[in-house]
Amino acid sequence: MKKFIMNLIKTGMLLSLVACSSQPAVKKQVSEEEEVVQVEKLDGEKIAVVYFSATGNTKEVAIKLSEELDADLYEIVPSVAYTEEDINYTDDACRANREMNDESSRPEFEEIPEVEKYSTILLGYPIWWGTAPRIIQTFLETYPLENTKIYTFCTSGGSGIEQSLKDLQGLYPEKKIVNGKRFGSSSKEEVKEYLQEIE
């Protein structure tokens, strides 16, 4: 009986030793898994600032936003650059005006690699004749962006962003175009205000 009890104790000790020795391994496995999940999460929440800018105003805001958010920055670069003449909107026949008067116009742009991997995109553009330039339509039609939340921002001579937001939401109801703000400047205050709004 004494021997039996001793054996039980020994077996118990052995079992608890096994349990002890297996604990760290189990823990390690879980924490590795957690690490993987975390990395995926971080990656899944990546933000990009994507913008088109003909004279640099929207670009300035885009750079500030990307810096503030530590987000990746992409420019929508037209395949054929806009010259000064092209955007001289006092001339009815300038390229920009012709594009805006033609609903089917889709100015081409240089491909943006991996833009689909972002869960949030801040999309910036100048206001042209009250709305977004046609090249923004080309961008939105080029990439499905099914799982991407799209916040817009713009610069302008005074017009608000509302009309362009309404137009884009109407044209692409399948996309999650959720919000927009016009920037009067690229000041820290305006940038912060926008980021607070979209957060």
Does residue number 54 form part of the binding site for ligand FMN (CB under 6 A)? yes
Phi, psi of 184 (to 5 degrees): -85, -20
Contacts of residue 145, defined as CB under 8 A and 6 or more positions apart, other chains included, come to: 115, 116, 121, 175
Does residue number 138 form part of the binding site for ligand FMN (CB under 6 A)? no
Does residue number 180 form part of the binding site for ligand FMN (CB under 6 A)? no
**Closest CB to ligand FMN among 7 and 133?**
133
Among 79, 89, 103, 144, binds ligand FMN (CB under 6 A): 89
* Amino acid found at 146: E
Would the CA dihedral through 100, 106, 108, 114 be positive or negative? positive
Compute the least distance from the CB of residue 125 to ligand FMN, in Å: 7
Does residue number 123 form part of the binding site for ligand FMN (CB under 6 A)? no
**Closest CB to ligand FMN among 63 and 171?**
63
Among 105, 119, 142, 159, binds ligand FMN (CB under 6 A): 159
Among 69, 73, 77, 87, binds ligand FMN (CB under 6 A): 87
- CB count within 10 Å of CB 126 equals 24
Q: Count CA within 13 A, CB hemisphere, residue 163.
A: 12
Tell me the CA distances in angstroms from 18 to 8, 24, 32, 130, one per residue in order.
15, 11, 22, 73
Compute the least distance from the CB of residue 183 to ligand FMN, in Å: 9
Among 49, 50, 76, 96, binds ligand FMN (CB under 6 A): 96
Among 24, 25, 56, 92, binds ligand FMN (CB under 6 A): 56
What is the rounded distance in angstroms from the CA atom of residue 164 to the CA atom of residue 166?
5
**What is the contact surface with ligand FMN in residues (CB under 6 A)?**
53-59, 87, 89, 96, 126-130, 155-159
